[in-house]
Amino acid sequence: MSKRKKTKPYPVESAAPVKSEVAAPAEAIAVNVSFGCPDISVVIPIRNAENFIGACLESVLAQTFKNFEVIVVDDCSTDNSAAIVESFIPKFGGRLIHFRLKKFSGNTGIPRNTGITLARGEYIRFIDATDKITATALEEDFRLAKEYDAEVVYHTLFYNLNADGSERLLAVNKYQSGDEIVLDEDLSTRVQDLARNNYYHASWCSFSRRDFLIANELYFPNVSFYDDVVWSYALLIYAKRFLRVPSAIYFYRAAEDSTSSKVNSITASLKSLDAFLSRHEFFETAPQLHYALLENYLNERLPSIFKDNLPPFSLYETLKEDFGERLGDYDVLIPALFAALAQQQKIAAINLAQFKEIIQQSEQRIAELENQIKQIKIKE
């Protein structure tokens, strides 16, 4: 019987997807290494990140846990990224592998899947080239995974890196820094929490056992955007021993994405997510949760399309360019739907702005009244 276990409070310090839908890894090559089999494989996909990859690798080099390998999968960078990565190879003493793809993949799924293929560690930790981790990140992940025999260690807190270099501690939705460590073996409750947006979906939120990923064919889909989101959904669903930890070990830097590419990726990634869900026996008896997750995924992704406030004709042109003849006889209806959704987004934004204005006016009025009361007291 499934169950959800709670443990001690945590002291916070700091059917399978068809092959065409999976981002196929590049052909693995023989890699000469000067040390034995590592406990952890750190996989870093990179594409033109010369301004950040140095800090990323420095944070990995500073780890208190030493038995790890680093696999940097270079997706045909055209800047100075490759040279920077190469300069770090001697510093890691043979533990850093720089694998260059022969052809630009156009997504992060192929580099990440290539990293899984090349990895030799018992566990895999993904890091984006623009981000970094705390000095004790790998030590903490490895200890917890072993202590609780967890297939996945999931962090509910992370640091957001701002453009000015400052950082801010963020909690994933309902989870807070004072929470307990939870070994979650209750899939039904976890799926419901997933449908309620109680998880953040990024590859770097999790520390996973490699054999668990391979046995369940948990590879990233072949889409331009949201491959890690779909993968994270699958990770949450397929793990039998899922450990939630209220600690922040990751520094995340948000990136700007193009609206045009996102439109195409939402449709493709939704199909990949449906494939992951369809091959899990849990959803055979819970089709309503299958639908709820697909609806949740779509609702969460759509706002990102409309954040640029594109006019309806631009949405139409974007969809025509991305989907082309695939829209068929109904090609006018789909852009119209997106335009209607965009209008709803604008209405919601206006309502939010009006609500904020009311709050501001109320706060000003309260301040005026408090000042009047002070003046009356002074006169008395």
Task: Render pLDDT for 168-204 as a digit per residue (tens, 0 to 9).
Answer: 888 876 677 668 899 999 999 999 988 888 888 899 9
In whole angstroms, give the CA distance from residue 370 to residue 366: 6
In whole angstroms, give the CA distance from residue 253 to residue 59: 14
Q: What's the pLDDT at 369?
A: 83
Mean pLDDT of the residues in the chain: 81
Scanning the structure block, which residue is given the tokens 């759509």?
Answer: 302
Amino acid, single-letter form, for residue 57: L
In whole angstroms, give the CA distance from residue 195 to residue 173: 12
CA distances from 248 to 91, 172, 182, 206 (A): 26, 11, 15, 11
CA distances from 194 to 5, 244, 297 (A): 18, 13, 10
Domain ranges of the chain: 4-258
Q: Structure pTM? A: 0.72
pLDDT band at 287 (very low <50, low <70, confident <90, very high): confident
List pLDDT tens digits, range 292-329. Answer: 888 777 777 666 655 555 555 555 555 555 555 555 55
Strands (E), 67-201: 68-74, 96-100, 123-126, 132-133, 152-161, 167-171, 180-184
Fold of 4-258: Spore Coat Polysaccharide Biosynthesis Protein SpsA; Chain A (3.90.550)
Q: What's the pLDDT at 27?
A: 46
